Structure 1
């Protein structure tokens, strides 16, 4: 006799058919579910049928448990460097051509979850500069508040106001800048001791702005910086640092350990700061201030961009030579902040001080060369087309 037939005969001998029907009608699956939930208290997975026969009525717990709630797997961030839109030093800003400002990079600024920049000016009508602009190399930057909507329409969601020009018109100018940005739906970062939290789907992103001045979060106070980053890291999935530091000009494109100086001013040790805050929990460092491109580095799986250079000069910032080379940095991070992949979108600043996409890719080649010189062993691949990968993902080539 075949095995199934023998088994059915045995069952009929041990249990009447009516009993089996009744057991089925009571719900074997409900019975199974009960035993899965009680597994910790009653470890035996079997239900006795007779002295010498048993049926396994349990289901694997994974089959019955609800789907685990997982975080959004990735977030894509785009970032640019120094922007001084609508500035003509201390003169009243001219706004007749402002709508052309981002036209040359409109396509490259799109398609990200978060767009970040550094606003190196004030958005105020307050007329009295806080600096003596009669002195050589002293400038006070002021932009008409109407430009705030232009920045918003370009896609910027976060702008750092921690730099050496955000107090050009004193406390009033700084407060006006903050107020005007918030009114347009743009979050300002860099207010001393403040962390901005941005929600992207189910990810919480912490953003902190730093400079080399005590009226912002100062990178020279490394202990306070680390404490602030640790606080952010406790509340957020990803922590992003925007930092304005380093010497300026065409000769300032190298990253060297140690304090940098510019016009006898301490501009911080950006190398030491970046590594310290990553060790404290930061996930992405966006540097600006030198006005030229600097190398990128992958440290502890986290990306450091030491300087993203100029992005909007508009008469305030020089665009001579390499000062006109820039990038839009694109970085895709995991839900834990690890760098997964990225791209450098090459940009050149034209004679008006406006950015436009540079198909020649000069900025990519510049950045590749600087990275090779400064960090030859960093585990990061930068391809000729600007794509970036951790070397572990690209086979180390």
Structure 2
């Protein structure tokens, strides 16, 4: 049975009651192998859990339904998903275009691993589609984009980049981690693959590390599944179960993340210690119009630049109390970090280096007044 409503899909897609027991929650199939009825006679197609596991299969089916894709695949981490995808679609001599403000881990993967493997790349300001078009080469196999980007919250036009990539015979890959499928549907806008760190909003509780890919095309999905099995960086059954549990409440959590972020943005936009607020929901954000067209909400991530420079940014991070100083994002609890010294330290000295006065906030689902009071006291120091 198919479901039209997003929240219904999040709760039911791939998650039918267990046939043997009637359990309404998908069981944790904590097993490495499966009894066969005869040589090659598999029960349900399962033979070894690196290839497939029923708990992981339920998560993968649910993720594909949420992104309206042909095939979903779950991995041990977001970076494992990225690495598997890139080694599937790119090889020595190929070229990939990435954002000029890409996530630090993505930049590190390209600059220290894939580059040694013979994959070349260019970092391009993807808010300008014509800059992407100009960077296309005959050997370009993919345009890799994030929107909104981490941590500068720039917005790229997915449909425009899809057109440019496809004209060149390349794929468009969209890292949809910040928006989540609740707020943004890249495949419906022409993307070929969606990537996620399921550690973040999909899991939502800061208790599991994982990644995912969703392919629009079944044939590409099969290729990715072959590499997933062959390379082996799969999500384990308990991690899959935790992520699936988190996915059930994604819609209601994202509504609260967005509402709280808007309150935080209003507060910080008027604070004298804040030089600039970066949030696509602001009318003067350069990507606001594009975001309003391709997103149903503006998300729970907010970045700010402090008037007092790096010292003020570090003080804000250290003085916050309700906002926990820590890496990652997308959990129910609010987090604060200094990207230049934490999540994006790998970009130091490169063209992708982030401003030293930048602070990134992952706005959680606590009471908004407590979050605002915490920021006020932290900025007063």
**What is the TM-score with the length of structure 2 in the denominator?**
0.26
Which structure carries more strand by proportion?
A: 1
User: Which structure has the larger Rg over C-alpha atoms?
Assistant: 1
Which structure carries more helix by proportion?
A: 2
With a CA cutoff of 8 Å and minimum separation of 6, indicate the structure with the bigger relative contact order: 2
**What is the TM-score with the length of structure 1 in the denominator?**
0.26
